[in-house]
Chains A and B, each alone.
Chain A
Amino acid sequence: MHLDDRLFSDKKLYLPLLAAVLLLPWVPMGLAGPYVLRVATLTLVYMVLALGLNVVPGFTGLLDLGYVGFFGLGAYTAGLLTVHYQWSIWLVLPLAVMNGVFWGVLRGAPTLRLGDDYFAIVTFGFSELIILVIRNELWLTRGPMGVPGIARPDFCGAVLDQPWQAYYLILFFLLLVLWVVVRIRSSRLGRAWFAIREDEIAAECVGVNVANYKIIAFALSAAIGALAGAFYARWFRFVHPDMFKFWESILILCLIVFGGMGSISGALLGAFILIPLTEVLRIVLPDSLSNARYLLFGLLIVCMMRWRPAGLLPVEKE
């Protein structure tokens, strides 16, 4: 049985993991505490992003090079709504998700017939388009000035201003997303996606409406990306077009390639290893070399391709 099937059913697997993530904010770490918690929160955000991206290239088999577009879209939707209307995160978040779904579907409709490489190019172009609009529409997004002063997340009227509260909040969203993708993976819907990934013509012949199921995949993927973005905006309290560069798309793609395309536990593990690693390298490397950490990062991916091409936790056993 694959690890993904056991995520919510095997008590021996999920109880220790859940205990570890729940107790993390209470481990005494002295002065490093807030920093570690911040990195942990960031890691959880990327876990959500990795799970969301995984739906399209991992499950449906279409390479998506523009995931950061939905991340940015969610972040800006949430950020601007919060700044202008001071709405609660529990209202802003669904709106951001709906906006993500809308653009995800809109992007999906014309790309239905595109093959792998062409689809990848369109996704890349679309995400660049989103970021360009964000950068240039000063009246709406303030462009390169960014949107500062976004309110912190809140819960039942109380502002969540402690780091551990934000940590628990994103943990809640992560578990929610995890539940959704795990449920879908072993369902009729997930199987339809796998069928499209394996062989579109055969999928049609067993009765899968390929166009519809691709659209559902795009919508879900965009929704999860926008969710992560909305949380990120409320947590970081500032959004700026430079935070959503093309590099981020590649980073998120790296996470799932590293963990194993299409594998849910792989996506989690990929984020768990790579995101803290960038932070560790930032500290370990001398200042002049700190940007070279992406070089090491690349090296790691090359090594992966050489020795574990299917990722750390591949979907299929050989």
Chain B
Amino acid sequence: MAGRKTGELLLKAHKVVKTFGGLTAVKEVSLEVRAGEIVGLIGPNGAGKTTFFNCLNAIAGPTSGEIMFAGHSLVSQVSPATRLLVFRLGALFALLSLLWLPLALGVVWPETFFRLEAVLALSGLAFFRIYLLKPLSHFRAWSRLLLLIFVLADGLWAVVWLWRSPDFAEVGFFSLFPFYPLLVPGALLILIAAPFFLLMFNLPRVREAFGQHLRADVITALGVGRTFQNIRLFSSLSALDNVKLGRHCRTRANFFGIVLALPGARKEERDSAEKAAECLRFVGLGKQLESRAGSLPYGDQRRLEIARALATEPELLLLDEPAAGMNPTESAGLINLIRRISQAGIAVLIIEHDMKVVMNLADRIYVLDHGELIASGTPAEVRSNPLVIEAYLGAQHAAAQA
């Protein structure tokens, strides 16, 4: 949709591993999807197909491996330059927050100082610092050291304040403190900088640098839509509202725009209703706009889920067993729908058990078995691959076919 050339590399997964405790559900799976393609992912039950999808859109991020989507790394892949930037930001943050405590207590309670407030304020500040630096703790040893420094500093201040006289004027501690004149401008700086850091730590790039996976909603906004094996609709909302929710990541209206009914927010709401209705018509649910999603027939729920994913304007659509539980007529309709999606310029990665559907649709197929990639190629190649036959039908059948 973003005007990519057919054949341009869109998704590249390299040696993706996902382990749950001792169990390796996905073992070094590498896979590519190019713009305009329909790629199938098949395998016997429990082969790790859905787990792999969950790795792709960070519902359960991979244990290791790389996933690149349209130039973005969906898994942490830290360049030295970014790492240095993050390190500097982290250090600055650390220094600023060391100034925070005496300031907060001195500015807010210059005359009356009460122990309860000290404990509350200290634990609150410590909590926030740890909350902010939690991403750091996933990263490297130095970040843990930083965390430790914060906690120790908090402890030190707590001890100092709790042991001192409650009267700020009598404390005398800060008169000895050489940087006391810097504290007031420092306080202002921190007040301005704290929200900035809060934002910085939530930016995708910084999170990447911290070794965090991108959040699922960020990945959706980058252009990866998905549906689920066990349908996950917002069942008590109407079909239209479900699809409008797909527009969520493409709309901007905020609290004030909505409450004050600003023209921008109202226009956006109208637009998203229009686009949502368009998506519903595209999948053939144009007449069920107001029906409750949970009470739609099964096949319609599947298509509604696809409409919701389409409303997010994906470049890559992940379909998890869209034909499960469908009769031949319905699955023929589904094949047609996926073709039309593909013609609209959206690459499709599809998990499917129904061989008729997947052989019919896919340009290329990857086969997983017990978490490992055992074969890949065009449908014809995969169909005659002895390893695939063995995985599905057992070794004897494979021998008989050969």
Q: Name A's B-contacting residues (CB within 8 A).
A: 106, 109-110, 133, 137, 139, 179-180, 183-184, 186-189, 191-192, 194-195, 198-199, 201-210, 216, 220, 315-317
Q: Is B272 at the interface (CB under 8 A from chain A)?
A: yes
Q: Chain B residues with Cβ under 8 A from A220's Cβ? A: 255
Q: Chain A residues with Cβ under 8 A from B116's Cβ? A: 133, 137
Q: Which of the segments B42-50, B72-80, B215-223, B326-334 contacts the partner chain?
A: B215-223
- Closest-CB distance, A75 to chain B (whole angstroms): 20
Contact A209 B255 (CB under 8 A): no
Q: Chain A residues with Cβ under 8 A from B128's Cβ? A: 109
Partner of A192, one of B124, B235, B248, B250: B248
Contact A189 B59 (CB under 8 A): no
Partner of A206, one of B235, B253, B308: B308
Given A195-B245, A199-B234, do A216 and B217 touch, yes or no (CB 8 Å)?
no
Given A110-B127, A204-B59, A207-B217, do A194 and B237 touch, yes or no (CB 8 Å)?
yes
Q: Which residue of A lies closest to B272 (CB)?
A: A188
Q: Name B's A-contacting residues (CB within 8 A).
A: 57, 59, 112, 114, 116, 124, 127-128, 131, 215-217, 220-221, 225-226, 228, 232-237, 241, 244-251, 253-255, 258-259, 261, 265, 268-269, 272, 292, 308-309, 311-312
**CA distance in complex: A198, B233 (Å):** 8
**CA distance in complex: A203, B59 (Å):** 11
Given A109-B131, A183-B258, A187-B265, do A207 and B248 touch, yes or no (CB 8 Å)?
yes
**CA distance in complex: A261, B247 (Å):** 26
**CA distance in complex: A296, B131 (Å):** 47
Q: Chain A residues with Cβ under 8 A from B246's Cβ? A: 206-207
**CA distance in complex: A210, B246 (Å):** 14
Q: Which of B57, B226, B253, B258 has the most CB of A within 10 A?
A: B258
Given A198-B236, A208-B217, A210-B217, do A187 and B258 touch, yes or no (CB 8 Å)?
yes
**CA distance in complex: A4, B258 (Å):** 16
Q: Chain A residues with Cβ under 8 A from B217's Cβ? A: 204-210
Q: Chain B residues with Cβ under 8 A from A195's Cβ? A: 234, 237, 245, 248
**CA distance in complex: A203, B215 (Å):** 12
Given A187-B253, A198-B235, A201-B232, do A206 and B269 touch, yes or no (CB 8 Å)?
no
**CA distance in complex: A110, B134 (Å):** 13
18 of the cross-chain contacts (CB-CB < 8 Å) are A110-B127, A139-B114, A183-B258, A187-B269, A188-B248, A188-B268, A189-B258, A191-B241, A195-B248, A199-B233, A204-B215, A205-B59, A205-B216, A206-B217, A206-B245, A207-B220, A208-B245, A208-B249
Given A188-B251, A191-B244, A206-B308, do A139 and B112 touch, yes or no (CB 8 Å)?
yes
- Closest-CB distance, B126 to chain A (whole angstroms): 12
Q: Chain A residues with Cβ under 8 A from B225's Cβ? A: 205
Q: Chain A residues with Cβ under 8 A from B255's Cβ? A: 184, 189, 216, 220
Q: Chain A residues with Cβ under 8 A from B254's Cβ? A: 189
- Closest-CB distance, A9 to chain B (whole angstroms): 12
**CA distance in complex: A207, B216 (Å):** 7
- Closest-CB distance, B353 to chain A (whole angstroms): 22
Contact B258 A316 (CB under 8 A): no
Contact B226 A205 (CB under 8 A): yes
**CA distance in complex: A202, B217 (Å):** 10
Given A187-B269, A205-B220, A208-B245, do A180 and B259 touch, yes or no (CB 8 Å)?
yes
Contact A207 B249 (CB under 8 A): yes
Contact B124 A188 (CB under 8 A): no
**CA distance in complex: A179, B259 (Å):** 8
Contact A188 B215 (CB under 8 A): no
**CA distance in complex: A104, B277 (Å):** 37
Contact A202 B234 (CB under 8 A): yes
Contact A198 B259 (CB under 8 A): no
**CA distance in complex: A102, B254 (Å):** 19
Contact A206 B249 (CB under 8 A): yes
**CA distance in complex: A188, B243 (Å):** 11
**CA distance in complex: A197, B4 (Å):** 36
